[in-house]
Amino acid sequence: MRPASRGRVTLADADARVAPHVDLKLLQHPDDLPRLVSGIRIACRLGDKSPVVDYLTGEDWPGADIRTDDQLASVIQERVSLYHHPAGTCRMGSANDPIAVVDSEGNVRGITGLQVVDASITPTIPQGIRIC
């Protein structure tokens, strides 16, 4: 949930009705794929232990025969997709930050009365997993 890869959104046309070009650049940073392989290894280890294993009827993905780093990397690359919880897409910053879109209260710079009040102003993706 914390990829190092960074995508890019650019205007495709000066006409605002034309959809922008979105390049996600999934798995482009060299740290992302090894982190996902490690995460799957942890999940598989947890799934092999009681009490979790007592409730499982089988393994749908990546598959019981997929265990080497190369095999795991391959299935990740085949199935990687976007996690739909955008965060950090609307930079918050001081008045002298040229790329900040909002101030510290979420007010959009240059547009009176408009605030951003969602996770797009959160600098990192919120997550609820804690591994001890």
Q: Measuring CA to CA, how many Å separate 34 from each of 30, 69, 128?
A: 8, 8, 21
Flag whether pLDDT at 85 surpasses 90.
no
For residue 94, is it within any domain? yes
For residue 113, is it within any domain? yes
Whole-model pTM? 0.61
The mean pLDDT value for 28-47 works out to 92
How many domains in the chain?
Answer: 1
Percent pLDDT > 70 in the chain is: 90
For residue 95, is it within any domain? yes
Flag whether pLDDT at 37 surpasses 90.
yes
Boundaries of domain holding 124: 87-132
Cα–Cα distance for residue pair 73/78, rounded to 1 Å: 9
For residue 92, is it within any domain? yes
H or E segment to which residue 88 belongs = none
For residue 10, is it within any domain? no
For residue 99, is it within any domain? yes
Give me the half-sphere count of Cα atoms (radius 13 Å) on the Cβ side of residue 38. Answer: 6
Mapping DSSP onto H, E and C, the string for 103-121 reads CCCCEECCCCCCECCCHHH
Which residues does the annotation mark as catalytic? 85
Q: Which of 75, 66, 64, 131 is nearest to 56 (CA)?
A: 64
Q: What single-letter amino acid sits at 101?
A: V
φ/ψ (deg, to 5) at 22: -115, 120
pLDDT digits (tens, 9 = 90+) for 26-36: 999 999 999 99
